[in-house]
Amino acid sequence: MKNELYWNELNAEIIGCHKCERLVAWREKVALEKRRMFFDQEYWGKPVPGFGDHAAQLLIVGLAPGAHGANRTGRMFTGDASGEFLYRALHKVGLANQPNSIKLDDGLKLNRTYISAVCRCAPPDNKPTKQEIQNCVPYLHRELQALNLKVIVALGRIAFEQIIAYFDMPSETIFRHGAEYAISGTSITLIVSYHPSRQNTQTGRLTEEMFDRIWRRVLEIMEEGSNK
């Protein structure tokens, strides 16, 4: 496990990143123009670092900050519907101390869990380009190298694809909600989930029970590891 200096330096590098001209322009434009309901708030408007327990056994990987969620609050999955869906589920199994995620200083703490993303800047239409992903994913790789993990949960196809590429997993590793894969050469289990986006949750593609089953299984694996 890396020390606090490592994490402080990594997060400072992430926050100061200007590698992707299109994303820099977009995140700053959104932060300046704001959404009407948040007009009196100061937007973060910078890349968003990972968040959670540096002694985590579980890593949750999403796609990117929401334009008016993490790009506004400065913390992953905070301030939007996706985050409310996620943290409510984590709270049920004891991986978060509260079921909501409103703002940076709302007291939310994660237990044995770290949350990150493939891209650290909010992309237009939630669609980063291949080059933007390539520019940003090395930050995720450094987090993977620093954490002593038992489980990785990939939220959505892009997160899944980046995890299987990092670990050079075989081609038969397919994206399917609830799929579970042992990562060769490690003691890590990869679990696949649909992303808790509003599009998925409001259409019923991802229900609360489907999502809850993911986290109950995660907890089983973590507890199996601790009892060995």
Pick the CATH number of 4-226 from 3.40.470.10, 3.10.450.50, 3.40.50.2300, 3.40.1010.10: 3.40.470.10
**Lateral strand order in the sheet of 151-155:** 51-52, 113-117, 58-62, 151-155, 189-193, 180-182
**Can you give the pLDDT at residue 226?**
60
**Can you give the pLDDT at residue 1?**
67
Show Cβ contacts of residue 97 under 8 Å, excluding neighbours closer than 6 positions. Answer: 91, 107, 108, 109, 110, 111
Axis-axis angle for helices 81-92, 208-226 (nearest 10): 50
Q: Which of 42, 128, 127 is nearest to 79 (CA)?
A: 42
Mean pLDDT, rounded, for 20-35: 97
Q: Can you tell me the distance from the alpha carbon of 9 to that of 108, in angstroms, rounded to the nearest whole number?
A: 23
**Can you give the pLDDT at residue 2?**
78
Which amino acid, one-letter code, is at 196? P
Q: pLDDT digit string (tens) for 219-228?
A: 999 998 565 4
State the pLDDT confidence band at 25, using cuts at 50, 70 and 90: very high
**Can you give the pLDDT at residue 225?**
52
The pTM for the full model equals 0.96
What are the structural domain ranges in the chain? 4-226
**Can you give the pLDDT at residue 119?**
98
Q: pLDDT digit string (tens) for 151-178?
A: 999 999 999 999 999 999 998 999 999 9
DSSP category for residue 96: B
CA neighbours closer than 13 Å in the CB half-sphere of residue 104: 13
Q: Can you tell me the distance from the alpha carbon of 9 to that of 144, in angstroms, rounded to the nearest whole number?
A: 15
Count the residues in the chain: 228
